[in-house]
Structures are given as structure tokens and as C-alpha cells.
Chains A and B, each alone.
Chain A
Amino acid sequence: METQTLEKIIAGHPYFADLESDYTSLLVGCASNVRFEPGRYLWREGEEANQFYLIREGRVAIEMVPPHRKAIVVETIGEGEILGWSWLLPPYTWRFHARAVETTRAIALDGKCLRQKCEQNHDLGYELLKRFAQIINHRLDATRMQLLDVYGKR
């Protein structure tokens, strides 16, 4: 079985497929392989946000806990998607819980390490911001749709 290098995996990820190879190499310096068993929390709300994940396999639930109620899952993130953007924006704390629903394999990218590289190389920073702005935009659209509760009774 061929073992893929981190560089190949990142370059093959939908969000980074067209990233210049020099930038991919910079990302690799901050990357590592991780695996989470079902039920394991990747992080909890309020914790310091210092990484994001390229999901290779499995599914992660984004949970919120409304006051005096049970937790609800507001989104799941699966294969080919990116999990987490709080590492990019101050105050660098998670706004929700993230829990593995299935056995999940991912590439973890160290946010602190990347923030330093982005400060040193603004072109890299701009490329990353463009990609994460897209993710945030999609999430905002989806949240608006969910707020409409389109399947509820009229």
C-alpha cells in the first residue's frame, strides 16, 4: 500500500488543490496526521483555538448547548471538508464543541504556526483567507437557511 505524503494529501484536498506548491510546502511544516475515535471531543467551546483539520475520512459533529437544554448538532463535517476557522481570528477560542461521530482521520494544521507564517508571508495569508472566507460564507448561507426553518409548519 502506498503511503501518501502529507504534501500529496494536502495538495489533493479540494480546498487546497490549486494552491501553489511553495505554499503547500509551507502548510506541510505545520501539519500532522491525526485520528479520532467515535465520541471523542476534538475540542470544546471556550478552549483555545490553535488548529484546523482537513477531514480525510469520517464525520465530526458541531455541537452547541442551549441554556437548560440538551446539546444539539448544528452541522456535521465530513470527508473532503475543512473543520474550524476560529484559529484564524482573534480571540482564537472555539465557539462550539466538535465531536467525532465516526472514526475520523484528518490532517491537523497548527494554527499558531500558520499564523506566524502568514504574518511573514502575506501572499500565503491572502490565499488562506480567500479559502476560509469561502467556507465562512457557505456556513453563513446554511445558517440563514436553517433559521428559516423551511420544513416547519406554516
Chain B
Amino acid sequence: MANAETDPMMPQPWVVRRISKETPDTFTLALTPSEGGARSGSGGFRPGQFSMLWVFGVGELPISISGDPADEESLTYTVRSVGPATQALVSREAGQGVGVRGPFGTGWPVEGAAGRDVVVVAGGIGLAPLRPVIYHVLRHRAQFGRLVVLYGARSPRDMLYRKELVSWGRHQDTQVLATVDYGGVSWRGRVGVVTSLFKYLRLQPARTTAMLCGPEIMMRLVARELAARGLAAQDVYLSMERNMKCAVGSCGHCQWGPHFICKDGPIFSYARIAPMLDRYEL
């Protein structure tokens, strides 16, 4: 019989320590292993990895880790309520349990980006899987060149981590630009799609690694824009999303061409997947 602590299919009991509201429908939960429970999954993850979170009696969901990779005590997830399972998850209160499997998947190439400029382009909830990268770069600031964060959201009230966006922009050699698709007349920031922010960039293509996460169409347009500005396809990374179930490459739910998103991804280089991104209905 498989050891519960090492069996990747066996959820471990974790507890919600904190839950905070990011936007009207998006919440951030910090989880720690339950008292006396197995600590599988605690003690580190690679930025870009995800866990399977189980609300018992409701369902299981793949959710990217959005916290600080240096935090060895807890795992943090930012969840948008879009259906019954996500609604059940964001309705958990401090002290209540959640089943956790993982972390799973490949990570962002943070080690490979050392010594280079890092451009992070996020859309909507796509900022959550990229936040660990930003934490990592800011924590090891001297190991990287410039950090640029470009963020697009639907409206000002849908923007994640608003205070952090401001504080990140105060770091040396760090540029944070945000835009929304629609703004009210009281909004003093930028309005326009995320690609409209590229005109404010001074890219050094040969020494830049770009990491993108957001709706697929947004990532496709951003990847094309970066290619037009001279970035090599192998220096652009995207986080793909499909219907992940087992998270270990067995069930086939998340198969995408020759890849299983859960096992081979979710992070892929643009060089690896560019032809598939343009293929209709794949």
C-alpha cells in the first residue's frame, strides 16, 4: 500500500490560516499542514508550480501557488470564484480544512534567468502564478538585471495585489506598469490592453527572459509582440491551462498535442509550443 505522505494521489489535510479578499470575486488563502498531519508539499515549491486543492464533498481543483517561495511554513493560493468548487474553496474560513496534493508541474526558469533582465507579463488572475517569480527576483535582486512587470486587468476593481504592485515598483531597477481594459472616470491610471504597455519598454532582447501568464489569446499576442521586438522564442515562457485532474500525467484530461500540461507544463517555452498555439481548437 502506498505511503500517504508520498502517494501523489492522496490529498493531505491542510488548514486555512488566513484568507484575504483581493477583488470582489478573488481571494488569497494561506494554508499550513494540519496538526499531526503529513507535511508533504510544505517546505518549498518552485515558482510556477501548482497544487490540487480538494474541498471534501465538493471537488478538486488545480490552483497555482501564488506565495513566496522562501516561505517554508505555508503555501499561498489566489483563487477566483467561477463555479461551485472555487466558490466552496474561497468560502473556507480560518481553521477549516482543505485537502492538498502536490506541488506539481514544471516551474518558471528563474535559475536560467539569473544575470538577465526579467520581463513578467500578466493578465487578470495570471498575476498569481507569476507573483512567486517577482518575490524571488526581489529577494535575490543582485542576481538579476532589470525587472519589468506588465499587468493588464479588466477594470481597476479587478486588479490583484494593488498595494504590492506599487511597492514592487519602488525597488531599484524595477518597472511596474499596469493597465485596465475599462476605467471609470475616477481612475487615474492607464486604460488599454496589456500590449499597449510595450511602447514604454526599453528591451535588451539578447539579455531578456520573458514570462507570460493570462488568457491564451493574450499570451499569444504578447509572445508575438515580444518576437517582433527581437526576443528569441526560447527566451519566452508561457503558463498553459487545460482541464487538469490527476496532475501526474496519467489520466490524459490535460493532454495538449504531445504534452500533458500537468506533468510537462504548465510552463512551456514559446519555442516549444508556438506552432500549437495557433492551431484552431487544439
Q: Given the complex, which residues of A lie within 8 Å of B182, measured CB to CB?
A: 72-74, 146
A150 touching B185 by the CB < 8 A rule? Answer: no
- Interface flag for A1 (CB, 8 Å): no
Interface residues of A in 124-154 (CB under 8 A from B): 142, 145-146, 148-154
Q: Given the complex, which residues of A lie within 8 Å of B199, measured CB to CB?
A: 14, 80-81
B123 closest partner in A (C-beta): A151
Complex partner residue of A145 from B82, B153, B188, B221, CB under 8 angstroms: B221
A150 touching B187 by the CB < 8 A rule? Answer: no
Interface residue tally on A, bucketed by range:
20 to 34
The minimal Cβ–Cβ distance linking A66 to chain B, given in whole angstroms, is 11
Q: Given the complex, which residues of A lie within 8 Å of B231, measured CB to CB?
A: none
Q: Given the complex, which residues of A lie within 8 Å of B192, measured CB to CB?
A: 75-76, 142
Interface residue tally on B, bucketed by range:
20 to 34
Complex partner residue of B82 from A72, A99, A153, CB under 8 angstroms: A153
Q: Given the complex, which residues of A lie within 8 Å of B205, measured CB to CB?
A: none
A70 touching B185 by the CB < 8 A rule? Answer: yes
The minimal Cβ–Cβ distance linking A94 to chain B, given in whole angstroms, is 17
A74 touching B191 by the CB < 8 A rule? Answer: yes
If A61-B183, A80-B199, A81-B199 touch, whether A142 touches B193 (CB-CB below 8 Å) is yes
If A76-B190, A101-B188, A151-B154 touch, whether A146 touches B181 (CB-CB below 8 Å) is yes
- Interface flag for A71 (CB, 8 Å): yes
Q: Given the complex, which residues of A lie within 8 Å of B184, measured CB to CB?
A: 70-73
Looking at chain B's contact residues, the main secondary structure is: mixed
B217 closest partner in A (C-beta): A150
A148-B82 Cα distance, complex, nearest whole Å: 18
If A70-B184, A70-B185, A151-B158 touch, whether A76 touches B191 (CB-CB below 8 Å) is yes
A146-B154 Cα distance, complex, nearest whole Å: 9
A61-B185 Cα distance, complex, nearest whole Å: 8
A148 closest partner in B (C-beta): B217
Q: Given the complex, which residues of B lie within 8 Å of A63, measured CB to CB?
A: 185
A76-B195 Cα distance, complex, nearest whole Å: 13
- Interface flag for B124 (CB, 8 Å): yes
Q: Given the complex, which residues of B lie within 8 Å of A142, measured CB to CB?
A: 192-193, 195-196
Q: Given the complex, which residues of B lie within 8 Å of A76, measured CB to CB?
A: 179, 183, 189-192
The minimal Cβ–Cβ distance linking A151 to chain B, given in whole angstroms, is 4
- Interface flag for B214 (CB, 8 Å): yes
A63-B187 Cα distance, complex, nearest whole Å: 12
A152 closest partner in B (C-beta): B154
A72-B125 Cα distance, complex, nearest whole Å: 23
Pairs across A and B, CB under 8 Å, 12 listed:
A63-B185, A73-B185, A74-B191, A75-B192, A76-B192, A78-B190, A145-B193, A146-B181, A150-B217, A151-B124, A151-B152, A154-B82
Interface of B with A (CB < 8 Å)?
25, 82, 123-125, 152-154, 158, 179, 181-185, 187-193, 195-196, 199-200, 214-215, 217-218, 221
